[in-house]
Amino acid sequence: MAQVATVPNDLEPYWMPFTANRAFKARPRFVSGAKDMHYFTPDGRKLLDGAAGLWCTNAGHNRDPIVKAIQAQAGQLDYAPAFQFSHPQAFELASRIAALAPGDLDHVFFCNSGSEAVDTALKIALAYHNVRGNASRVRMIGRERGYHGVGFGGIAVGGIVNNRKHFGALLAGVHHLSHTYNRAEQAFSVGEPEWGAHLADELERIVALHDASTIAAVIVEPMAGSTGVLAAPKGYLQKLRAICDKYGILLIFDEVITGFGRLGYAFAAERYGVVPDLITFAKGITSGSVPMGGVLARKGIYDAFMQGPEHVVELFHGYTYSAHPLACAAGLATLDLYREEKLFERARALEPKWSEAAMALKGLPNVLDIRTIGLTVGIDLASKPDGVGKRGFEAMDRAFHEQDMTIRAVGDTLALSPPLIVSEAQIDEMFGKLAKVIKAVA
């Protein structure tokens, strides 16, 4: 139901993240309520959520079981110390997540965001080699166009230039694989592109240059979302796994976006039949309701730390709010919804309908490419002559103000990733609105 809310009379103090602050404050895009597939504006307009918030509200907005679980937990236990003490729900949630993960990814280290999850995974990788007597393994391999959050570790292994260029030398010993996108070979791909598996072989060149004894881990997204929806080519992830196995390098999948149903499975690792050594997750674990992230680790990695005197801390890492009680309550309720409503299976079943509706935009003005994988789509628009990103920004702004819909704009790429509860009728509505937006910014 639409909610009416007041708007603050002073917008200046809030320095907004990843936002053109002056443009926003001149023409704000406020939401003040949400339910299921929709946001509500302070003046009562109903907005179709085409982006699952920020790739995170996979079970939909303000779902009653999640809201009730958070409310009940807040009334019972607001906070439990994360170091040397804990609470039962932390262990229950870790068990539930581990049960969803493939292979022997049996241990969960909790944090509060995808950025923290990535930095945690990188630290675990470094420490793992160290405790096993391989302290020379310190190099990290990321990928061009990769997004791994905004911690110093994440932007170092990440490959998005604007996220890196203002922040100095970052971490030493970081190298990057080439990104996997080639428009000439992959344009208008549905699902995993046929071309590109050979790009994984570049890891062999990096190993030859630096020697395997210096390399700790490789980190990639199974689907690079924030850079514009780039699906891994067929066979690419399997090749990376084989090369990492060959040289004793850890393989990290950043599944902050792809986890919890976005590609039709609990984790994309299951879709591709690849068991990485570490998986980062966040976003969908609580359907965006309470901040939470984490790292799944294989049994052998965890066991490597469980040596020495039992009273000594095994890994000197963690956060005040690791496994926060409210986040754990939200996570458990969210996992219940995913299971009871079969939302991962639902996403898998809707994928053909989603891709068909997306590809219907082909031929509209300035559409250079469309890529779909799972319930995601990236649509590249031609840049305006007077500025890269202007057409994408205008499309996002028009979608909000004129078509009552929220979408993501990354430069001149439009990205959609709806809650997994989206109906076929809402898919048609979404792409119908998007077609009007694309025509309006021609």
Q: How far is CA 256 from CA 161, 286, 433, in A?
A: 20, 12, 28
Q: How far is CA 304 from CA 115, 135, 228, 369, in A?
A: 25, 14, 37, 46
Half-sphere exposure of 21 (CA within 13 A, CB side): 7
Model pLDDT for residues 179-230, shown as the tens digit of each residue: 999 999 999 999 999 999 999 999 999 999 999 999 999 999 999 999 999 9
Model pLDDT for residues 25-72, shown as the tens digit of each residue: 999 999 999 999 999 999 999 999 999 999 999 999 999 999 999 999
Tell me the two tokens of residue 175.
């190298």
> Does domain 21-59+342-440 sit in CATH 3.30.390.10?
no
Question: Pairing mode, if any, of strands 293-298 and 38-40?
Answer: unpaired
Model pLDDT for residues 170-188, shown as the tens digit of each residue: 999 999 999 999 999 999 9
| Residue 412 and residue 381 in contact, taking contact as beta carbons nearer than 8 Å | yes
Nearest Cα residue to 364 out of 376, 381, 386: 381
**Count of residues for the chain?**
442
For the chain, what is the radius of gyration of the CA atoms?
22
Is this prediction's pTM over 0.95?
yes
pLDDT on residue 4: 61
**E-state strands within 159-249:** 174-177, 215-220, 223-224, 230-231
Nearest Cα residue to 284 out of 229, 344, 205, 204: 344
The pair phi, psi for residue 37, each rounded to 5°, is -95, 5
Check pLDDT > 80 for residue 6: no
Check pLDDT > 70 for residue 1: no
Chain center to CA of 281: 7
d(CA 411, CA 418): 20
d(CA 361, CA 379): 9
Q: Where in the chain is the domain with CATH 3.90.1150.10?
A: 21-59+342-440
Sheet holding 38-40, edge to edge: 33-35, 38-40, 46-49, 405-406
The pair phi, psi for residue 372, each rounded to 5°, is -125, 145
Model pLDDT for residues 8-21, shown as the tens digit of each residue: 889 999 999 999 99
| Residue 402 and residue 438 in contact, taking contact as beta carbons nearer than 8 Å | no
Mean residue pLDDT of the chain comes to 97
Model pLDDT for residues 317-326, shown as the tens digit of each residue: 999 999 999 9
* Largest CA-CA distance found in the chain, in angstroms, rounded: 67
Q: Where in the chain is the domain with CATH 3.40.640.10?
A: 67-340
Tell me the two tokens of residue 430.
């979404």
Taking residues 113-141, report their average pLDDT: 98
CB-neighbour burial class of residue 314 (10 A; exposed 0-12, middle 13-18, buried 19+): middle
Taking residues 341-369, report their average pLDDT: 98
Q: Architecture of 67-340 per CATH?
A: 3-Layer(aba) Sandwich (3.40)
pLDDT over 90 percentage in the chain:
98
Check pLDDT > 90 for residue 5: no
Q: How confident is the model at residue 7 (pLDDT cuts 50, 70, 90)?
A: confident
pLDDT on residue 268: 98
